[in-house]
Amino acid sequence: MDYKDLRKEYLKHRLDPASLHADPMIQFKLWFDEALQAKVDEPNAMVCASVSAEGKPSSRYVLLKELKEDQFIFFTNYHSRKGIELFETKFCSLVFYWRELERQIRIEGIAEKCSAAYSDEYFNSRPHGSKLSSIVSPQSSKIESKEYLESELKRISGMDASEIKRPEHWGGIGIRANYIEFWQGRQDRFHDRVCYTKTESGAWEISLLAP
Ligand SMILES: Cc1cc2nc3c(=O)[nH]c(=O)nc-3n(C[C@H](O)[C@H](O)[C@H](O)COP(=O)(O)O)c2cc1C
Does the residue 193 lie in any domain? yes
- Note whether residue 172 is domain-resident: yes
The angle, 0 to 180 degrees and rounded to 10, between the axes of the packed helices 147-157 and 128-136 is 130
Within a domain: 185 = yes
- Number of structural domains found in the chain: 1
Residue 107 Cα to ligand 1 middle (Å) = 18
CA distance 174 to 107: 12
The CATH number of the domain holding residue 111 is: 2.30.110.10
**Is residue 55 included in any domain, yes or no?**
yes
Query: What is the spatial distance between Cα 47 and Cα 97, in angstroms, rounded to a whole number?
Result: 9
Distance 138 CA to ligand 1 centre (A): 13
Helices vs strands, H then E, count in the chain:
5, 9
Is 178 part of any domain? yes
The residue segments making up the domain with residue 200 are 12-126+168-209
- 147 lies in some domain: no
In-domain check, residue 1: no
Indicate which residue's Cα is closest to atom 18 of ligand 1.
60
163 belongs to a structural domain: no
Is-catalytic flag, 189?
yes
Which residues line the pocket of ligand 1, CB cutoff 6 A?
42, 45, 58, 60-63, 74-76, 80-82, 139-140
Length of the chain measured in residues: 211
Sequential pLDDT tens for the chain (211 residues): 999 999 999 999 999 999 999 999 999 999 999 999 999 999 999 999 999 999 999 999 999 999 999 999 999 999 999 999 999 999 999 999 999 999 999 999 999 999 999 999 999 999 999 999 999 999 999 999 999 999 999 999 988 888 899 999 999 999 999 999 999 999 999 999 999 999 999 999 999 999 9
Residue type, 85: E
What's the N-to-C CA distance of the chain in angstroms? 28
